[in-house]
Amino acid sequence: MPRYRLTLEYDGTGFVGWQHQGDGRSVQEALERAVERFSGERVRVHGAGRTDSGVHALGQCCHLDLARTVRPKVLREALNAHLRPAPAVVTHAAEAAPGFDARRDATMRVYLYRIVNRKAPPALARKRAWHLPRPLDTGAMADAARRLEGTHDFTTFRAAQCQAASPVRTLQSLAVRRCGEEIVIRAWARSFLHHQVRAMVGTLAEVGEGRRTPADVGAALAACDRSRSGPTAPAYGLYLEAVLYPPAC
């Protein structure tokens, strides 16, 4: 039974998230319906990560098995035709190595968060970036971000409903960059806790506004206390940018 690896791009605004939910439309459900319409098979699509309601993706990865072999280009085009009008597309399809698992084989996940930092609210980036009208000090934000890099107990930046067995994670990089009126925060790690990136972004925003110092962020991390985090940034500013795998995959 051939296995395929897909890369997806989607606007999370109209979805309840990646994973099947009791109510509302999920990306997983939309893709599985597209597969069924194309192949006549009911299959389970396995994603590399669970994006929350409203979170977007530029490079979500997943795998699925089909009963018959299909050329990857044909699979991509057929799924895109059957996904319409859902705001999701398959950007790449390939035959996967035997035993490939989109979630377990991932070596790195990259998330980016967009902030529009100007007085006027965004029109084109509405529901796609967080609007913060007060001037933000990106130098202080970058200093604070560096204090979160490395292997730590991230309880302070973990959602109460997080189901991970351990709060310890290794944050390879947390970079803050300004490009004109937009600030992009990019986080690299093998895995993240529920709401970790959004909680870190909310805390960094308070540093940018002068409500916290970079040292305060280090102290909050060490406290392992969720009440020491800043606000959880809105879901609509977050994007799963990429999922990385070993070359053999």
**What is the model's pLDDT at position 14?**
87
**What is the model's pLDDT at position 229?**
96
**What is the model's pLDDT at position 106?**
97
Distance set, CA 67 to CA 5, 64, 76 (Å): 15, 10, 16
**What is the model's pLDDT at position 1?**
84
**Do you know the residue count of the chain?**
249
Of the candidates 27, 23, 25, the residue with the CA atom closest to the CA atom of residue 10: 27
11, 52, 65, 153: the catalytic one is: 52
For every residue of 71-114, DSSP letters joined together read -HHHHHHHHHHHHTTSSEEEEEEEEPPTT--TTTT--EEEEEEE
Q: For residues 131 and 116, is the Cβ–Cβ distance under 8 A? A: yes
Provide the β-strand partners of residue 187. Answer: 111, 174
Strand duo 238-244 + 56-65: pairing: parallel
pLDDT in tens, the chain (249 residues): 899 999 999 999 989 999 988 778 999 999 999 999 999 999 999 999 999 999 999 999 999 999 999 999 999 999 999 999 999 999 999 999 989 999 999 999 999 999 999 999 999 999 999 999 999 999 999 999 999 999 999 999 999 888 899 999 999 999 999 999 999 999 999 999 999 999 999 999 999 999 999 999 999 999 999 999 999 999 999 999 999 999 876
Q: How far apart are CA 29 and CA 22, in angstroms?
A: 11
Cα-only R_g, the chain:
19
Q: How far apart are CA 54 and CA 127, in angstroms?
A: 8
- For residue 119, count other CB atoms closer than 10 A to its CB: 9
- For residue 201, count other CB atoms closer than 10 A to its CB: 29
Instruction: With H, G, I as helix, E, B as strand and everything else as coil, classify residue 155.
Output: helix
Q: How far apart are CA 215 and CA 127, in angstroms?
A: 32
Q: Express each pLDDT in 183-241 by its tens digit.
A: 999 999 999 999 999 999 999 999 999 999 999 999 999 999 999 999 999 999 999 99
DSSP code, position 54: T
Task: Provide φ and ψ at 71, rounded to 5°.
Answer: -65, 135
Q: For residues 2 and 95, is the Cβ–Cβ distance under 8 A? A: yes
Residue written as token pair 């913060």? 132
Of the candidates 225, 177, 172, the residue with the CA atom closest to the CA atom of residue 199: 225
**What is the model's pLDDT at position 24?**
80
**What is the model's pLDDT at position 64?**
97
11 catalytic residue (yes or no): no
Q: How far apart are CA 201 and CA 156, in angstroms?
A: 13
Domains, the chain, in order of start with CATH, read 3-95 (3.30.70.580), 108-244 (3.30.70.660)
Report pTM: 0.95
